[in-house]
Amino acid sequence: MKAVVTGGAGFIGSHLCDHLIGQGHEVVALDDLSTGSESNLEQLGGHPRFELVKGSVLDKALVDDVVAAHDTVFHMAAAVGVHTIVDKPLESLRTNLHGTENVVEAAVRHGAGYLIASTSEIYGKNDTDGLTEDADRILGSPLKSRWSYAAAKGLDELVAYIHGGDSGLPCAITRFFNIVGPRQTGRYGMVVPRFVDQALAGEPITVYGEGTQRRCFGSVFDVVPAMVRLLECPPARNRAVNLGGLEEVSIGELAQRVIELTGSTGDVVHVPYEEAYGEGYEDMRRRMPDTTLAADLIGYEPQWRLDDIIA
Ligand code: NAD
């Protein structure tokens, strides 16, 4: 495989680069380093099958140029993080929609298979048991999507579907549910690294709201190989597939587990949502994936337990 990983200097993208290089593939990471960092790729520095191109997926000519020499594209680049999205909704919408258009159109033009990263956010505030991949719920109810991020990702999926259906190329869409692991930073509001940073610094852990909201955290080491398998799986073509962990935990319990595992002397403090994200902010009470489709298609079965992920 000659692969392009957009957002390759980011959290998931850099692990994907490691994995692809480990599998013997050639890899180019395309990243503008807005939230990613070169340090995430220092282990690949000087590797003969690896290159980092610094630039934006909004640069159509650059994207075309990079994709032209490759047969596979993993599109991870996006404006991410609750703070970025809430503070700069239009900018995130543009980056996420136009970036995906540029990447998918270049892939189709040059006959490269492609996978785009979508998100559980497109399910909006839906907090019923085990979310399934039913597309009607998203496209039929766009107003349920929260923020520009969710809307752009929904449209990204549409761009991928439309091109994928016509092109006959391998095309996959992964909807990530709270993926965590090394190199993820807490700077943009991600809860697990933020809690771990606070605990290791001996500071109080700040829980937004009462801490009763529930989540499942998935390991990056489970989802990265799953992405590659999905792109190589013909029945997964042009379908959106949930990927995440299956161990549900409340945010209050998560804080306690982080304190225990780090041996922190810090306490837990509760902060109202409005203080963290401004007036009118509402969080989802519960978010857990139904990963049956991934299990059926590629035998996906998360191996990483939450305590091991935190450790
Ligand atoms: P990340 O911020 O670590 O990675 C995103 C990368 O994209 C960064 O390296 C950033 O510098 C780069 N980038 C941003 N704008 C760019 C642009 N215009 N041109 C080129 N590069 C650009 O975040 P991540 O968690 O690794 O997310 C990767 C993908 O997975 C994103 O598409 C995100 O929406 C999606 N996702 C992640 C999660 C999760 O739990 N981590 C959940 C849902 C979806």
Helix/strand/coil (H/E/C) assignment for every residue in 232-246:
CCHHHCCEEEEEECC
Mind telling me the catalytic residues?
A: 149
In what helix (H) or strand (E) does residue 180 lie, and over which residues does it extend? strand 179-180
Residues 186 and 86: their CA atoms lie apart, in Å, by: 16
Asked whether residue 134 carries a pLDDT value surpassing 80, the answer given is: no
* 66 close to ligand 1 (CB < 6 Angstrom): no
* 56 close to ligand 1 (CB < 6 Angstrom): yes
How many angstroms is it from 298 CA to the middle of ligand 1? 24
ipTM of predicted complex: 0.99
* 82 close to ligand 1 (CB < 6 Angstrom): no
Average pLDDT of the segment spanning 276-296: 84
- Write out pLDDT tens, residues 147-203: 678 888 989 999 999 998 878 999 999 999 999 999 998 777 789 999 999 999 999
- Write out pLDDT tens, residues 228-251: 999 999 999 999 999 999 999 999
CA distances from 158 to 60, 78, 162, 308 (A): 19, 16, 6, 36
- Write out pLDDT tens, residues 40-97: 999 999 999 999 999 999 999 999 999 999 999 999 999 887 777 777 778 888 899 9
* Nearest atom of ligand 1 to the alpha carbon of 116: 32
Give the pLDDT score at 136: 44
Give the pLDDT score at 275: 81
* 178 close to ligand 1 (CB < 6 Angstrom): yes
Residues 158 and 122: their CA atoms lie apart, in Å, by: 12
Query: At 143, is the pLDDT very low, low, confident or very high (cuts 50, 70, 90)?
Result: very low
Residues 278 and 262: their CA atoms lie apart, in Å, by: 30
Query: At 142, is the pLDDT very low, low, confident or very high (cuts 50, 70, 90)?
Result: very low
* Nearest atom of ligand 1 to the alpha carbon of 35: 11
Give the pLDDT score at 149: 82
Superfamily, domain 2-179+219-244:
NAD(P)-binding Rossmann-like Domain (3.40.50.720)
